[in-house]
Chain A
């Protein structure tokens, strides 16, 4: 059973006015098979946590530790983290002109699994996952995220998660910008991965909307760079009813 452990994590970014601390000591443990919702108002540092775990160069770790099954994640390069079993579904996936989805996915899967997938199996696997997410098969020949709608981008992120089958998946506002139908399709994709029990999910969101489809085991309220409240699914109902203000003043 895989475990992601975050202890006392502090992170800063460089701004025009010098370094600015964004994360002020985050403690969080996510195990395979669990779904954690990390909720918080805009600017609370949720996305920073996601990027810091994935190793984005813009964020400087100033303290604390992150381990995956005891291995020091912070010592790893971005691609090593991915190969170790971490996955980040981006809020704004970038375009990569000239690189087709099929080429990109095959390259990624080859890197993560350590060997090129059997071509026949791979095509079948890809087709099935795409069908499950209601992605047009022709998408495979389109360039990565180029000209994709918001919903198409998010579906493609979840497609990658399904194919990679990571130990820990961090989903950064995967629900934002989705209409109800797309939200349902994406949520089903997330649930399919979770159902296998091999993946722990950290679902970062501003709204409680997606939690109607993806049921969290734990809810963490994030504010001002740290977790200020933790509880079960009932905490999300509380946020739905009363908003974040109660935690902000706490």
Chain B
């Protein structure tokens, strides 16, 4: 594939990486602007004021969960308990507007064979949410969080994996085209715990997801996978932060996206910090983008900050390429028409990622959704 550099890729020099503010109260944050590093790629004017932290809900999301043995789900009309502060006004604003927390618990020592599906359905209102996924000790599960319909939605997900626990969380953003969805997905890993976090962003006018990983004890493993497709006018942003603060932890980040159409915009920022005490860290991150047609913009910024040399490995890569004419010619020279050839190449681009995600239930859905979104234009 011809690699075209779409945007400058830079290693940002070390800076003070502790978020300046951590709070559950939106009033503790100044209103962000596009001059702030965290929002430099974000279309502030299209966030429907969610970044101001004081927008009131006009409705709610319909939440449904299938019954799976070993898992329990409840919506508690209380916000009690400890919770670490959020790092921006949007997430804190969402917290301040809700009066109930949805929580899914995977019970200790339970190895779920059936996938838990949490569907979150919007109905054109402004809504906020907090979903907790608690994986107790030595439990394992696959959870799909399925976002559909349309909404102006700020909803955070806190994923807590206790010692020895293991979870795959797939967050599907399969919104209608008018949705705005802003979220922090915070993963906390106990000793020898592992999490695979998958963000699949296909729909929505503006989607901005901030997955972060915090290691609470040594031996944690995090895999962060992303698959995104932005059509004309869509903004799909993923901003990751992996905080290696404990020894002998691993992280692996793979994000792949395709852009198609005028003003399609994707953003991937991968911040990985290896703190001085995080010896034995092994981390790698890669982002690949495929620009299908002109007028799109893919921003891709890996940041790797290393404060100790006593690590196993650390690396990153970023490529942005255009549809390769030689691939198209090759396929066409075998009788395959141009539309079909483009579909083959695009499907191929995502296919190995679906394998890595390893949740077969979503495969056909993702394939079909992408092809439907191509809308016969390709």
**Given A57-B325, A93-B330, A112 and B335 contact (CB-CB distance below 8 Å):** yes
Q: Which residues of A are found within 8 Å of B34, using beta-carbon distances?
A: none
**Does A117 belong to the interface (CB within 8 Å)?**
no
- Tell me which residues from 323 to 359 in chain B have a Cβ below 8 Å from any Cβ of chain A: 324-327, 329-338, 340-341, 344-345, 347-352
Q: Do A77 and B327 contact each other (CB < 8 Å), given the known contacts A98-B350, A99-B347, A104-B344? A: no
Known: A57-B325, A98-B348, A99-B348. A164 touches B334 (CB 8 A): yes
A116 to B: closest C-beta gap in Å: 13
| Contact A108 B347, CB 8 Å, known A57-B325, A78-B329, A94-B326 | no
Q: Which residues of A contact B324 (CB under 8 A)?
A: 94
- In the complex, are the beta carbons of A79 and B338 less than 8 A apart? yes
How long is the Cα–Cα vector from A54 to B147 in the complex, in angstroms? 46
Dominant SS among interface residues on chain B: helix
Decide: A108 near B329, CB < 8 A? Known: A99-B345, A99-B348: no
What 3 A-B pairs are tightest by C-beta distance, nearest first?
A98-B348, A82-B335, A78-B332
Produce 1/0 per residue, A55-88, CB < 8 A to B: 1110000000000000000000111011100011
Q: List 17 A-B contacts (CB under 8 A).
A: A78-B332, A79-B332, A79-B333, A82-B332, A82-B333, A88-B333, A93-B330, A94-B324, A94-B326, A96-B330, A97-B348, A98-B345, A99-B347, A99-B348, A107-B340, A108-B335, A111-B340
Binding site for A on B (CB under 8 A): 1, 324-327, 329-338, 340-341, 344-345, 347-352
Q: Is the CB of A77 within 8 A of B334?
A: no
What's the Cα separation between A171 and B333 when bound, in Å?
Answer: 13
Q: Chain A contacts of B345 at CB under 8 A?
A: 96, 98-99
Q: Which residue of A lies closest to B345 (CB)?
A: A96
- Cβ of A143 to closest chain B Cβ, rounded Å: 7
A93–B352 alpha-carbon span in the complex (Å): 21
Is there contact, CB below 8 Å, between A143 and B333?
A: no
Is A160 on the interface with B (CB-CB < 8 A)?
A: yes
Chain A residues near B341: list those with CB within 8 A.
79
Selected from A54, A95, A98, A99, the residue in CB contact (under 8 A) with B333 is A54
B330, B340, B348: the one contacting A94 at CB < 8 Å is: B330
| Given contacts A56-B329, A93-B330, A98 and B347 within 8 Å (CB-CB) | yes
- Residues from chain B with Cβ under 8 Å of A54 in the complex: 329, 333
A57 to B336, Cβ gap below 8 A? no
* A107-B336 contact given A94-B324, A98-B348, A98-B351, CB 8 Å threshold: yes
For the complex, count residues of A whose C-beta is within 8 A of B. Answer: 29
Distance of A111 Cα from B330 Cα, bound (Å)? 14
Is there a chain B Cβ closer than 8 Å to A90's Cβ?
yes
Which residues of chain B have C-beta atoms less than 8 A from A83's C-beta?
335
Quick one: given A98-B347, A98-B352, are A111 and B334 in contact (CB under 8 Å)? yes
B327 touches A79 (CB 8 A): no
- Residues of chain B within 8 A (CB-CB) of A160 are 334
List of A residues within 8 angstroms of B340 by Cβ: 107, 111
Contact B330 A98, beta carbon cutoff 8 Å: no
B336/A97 in contact, CB under 8 A? no
Please give me the residue from chain B that is nearest to A82 by CB atom: B335
A111 with B335: CB separation less than 8 A:
yes
* B325 pairs with A112, CB closer than 8 A: no
CA distance A98 to B355 in the complex (A): 11
**Most chain B beta-carbon contacts within 10 A, residue among A82, A98, A111:** A98
**Apart from A83-B335, A97-B349, A99-B348, what 13 extra A-B contacts exist at CB < 8 Å?**
A79-B333, A79-B334, A82-B333, A90-B330, A95-B327, A96-B330, A98-B347, A99-B344, A99-B345, A104-B331, A104-B344, A107-B336, A112-B335
B332 touches A107 (CB 8 A): no
Give the residue name and chain of the B residue nearest to A107 (CB).
B336
Q: How far is the CB of A49 from chain B (nearest CB, A)?
A: 15
| B335 partner residues in chain A, CB cutoff 8 A | 79, 82-83, 108, 111-112, 164
